[in-house]
């Protein structure tokens, strides 16, 4: 049976899934799937689609179908005054999260930006927040601040002890900023939605969330792809 190729095209990478196979490739590349697919379904943050459509059609032999943000989808109502202005990746993620759990949800997505969205149990999207990722903030400090050069770091133990050298001071300062933002977003969710609110996380932020949340949260690594299957069944 032929399957769908689903693509979540972000600013820095492309997540893909075909059936039970999935992976990530750098932005600008396309996955080698070594099989024929029936459809190509796409979530893309890029505004220009013509070149992307041509590349996908040439590579996979199918005209891609693009998801878009709408006023309503599968029980969820878009909270933006102009629905199409909500990033399609956020829209698909929050629709997938609500449909999976059917309760009050706070949905975090950690990518090139850090985003959070709030959805009531009845499916009403209340809006959300967008802030730069920790990586982007670190790069701005390195580019714009004299004598502050911060080394690239992989996953590290989170500490809120004051740093005793510049590199550590920046890393821990950014950790503290993320911690404060996460705590505030979760507190707001509980205040607006109620104490039974479920926190759902996608992207690369699980370590940060673990440092903040004492209670249960759900990690769903493929929320955008899950939402894509809902939007383009």
Query: For 90-141, what is each residue's pLDDT tens digit?
Result: 999 999 999 999 999 999 999 889 999 999 999 999 999 999 988 888 777 7
Is position 83 within any domain? Answer: yes
Among residues 38, 66, 94, which one ends one of the domains?
Answer: 66
Q: What is the pLDDT of residues 127-141, one digit of tens each?
A: 999 999 888 887 777
Range of the domain at 214: 77-133+168-223
Q: Do the domain assignments include residue 12?
A: yes
Whether residues 111 and 21 share a domain: the answer is: no
CATH number at 9 reads 3.30.420.40
Is 32 in the active site?
Answer: no
Which among 6, 89, 117, 226 is annotated as catalytic?
89
* 85 in the same domain as 190: yes
Distances (CA, A) of 181 to 79, 93, 175, 225: 21, 20, 10, 26
pTM of the model: 0.90
Q: Are residues 102 and 12 in the same domain?
A: no
129 and 14 in a single domain? The answer is no
Give yes or no: residues 90 and 173 share one domain: yes
Question: Is 128 contained in some domain?
Answer: yes
- DSSP secondary structure of 96-126: HHHHHH-S-EEEEEESSEEEEEEE-TTSBEE
Q: Is the pLDDT of residue 152 over 70?
A: no
């Amino acid at each position: 049976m032929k399957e769908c190729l689903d693509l979540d095209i972000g600013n820095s990478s492309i997540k893909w899934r075909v059936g039970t196979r999935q992976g990530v490739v750098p932005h600008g590349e396309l996955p080698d799937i070594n099989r024929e697919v029936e459809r190509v379904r796409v979530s893309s943050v890029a505004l220009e689609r013509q070149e992307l459509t041509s590349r996908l059609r040439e590579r996979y032999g199918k005209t891609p179908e693009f998801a878009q943000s709408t006023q309503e989808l599968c029980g969820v109502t878009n909270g933006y005054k102009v629905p199409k202005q909500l990033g399609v990746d956020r829209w698909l993620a929050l629709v997938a999260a609500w449909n999976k759990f059917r309760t009050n949800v706070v949905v975090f997505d950690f990518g090139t930006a850090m985003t959070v969205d709030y959805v009531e149990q009845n499916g009403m999207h209340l809006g959300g927040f967008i802030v730069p990722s920790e990586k982007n903030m670190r790069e701005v400090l390195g580019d714009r601040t004299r004598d502050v050069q911060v080394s690239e770091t992989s996953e590290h133990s989170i500490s809120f002890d004051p740093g005793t050298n510049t590199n550590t001071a920046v890393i821990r300062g950014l950790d503290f900023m993320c911690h404060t933002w996460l705590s505030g977003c979760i507190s707001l969710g509980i205040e607006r939605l109620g104490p039974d609110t479920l926190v759902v996380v996608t992207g690369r932020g699980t370590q940060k969330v673990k440092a903040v949340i004492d209670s249960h949260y759900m990690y769903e690594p493929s929320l955008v792809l899950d939402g894509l299957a809902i939007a383009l069944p």
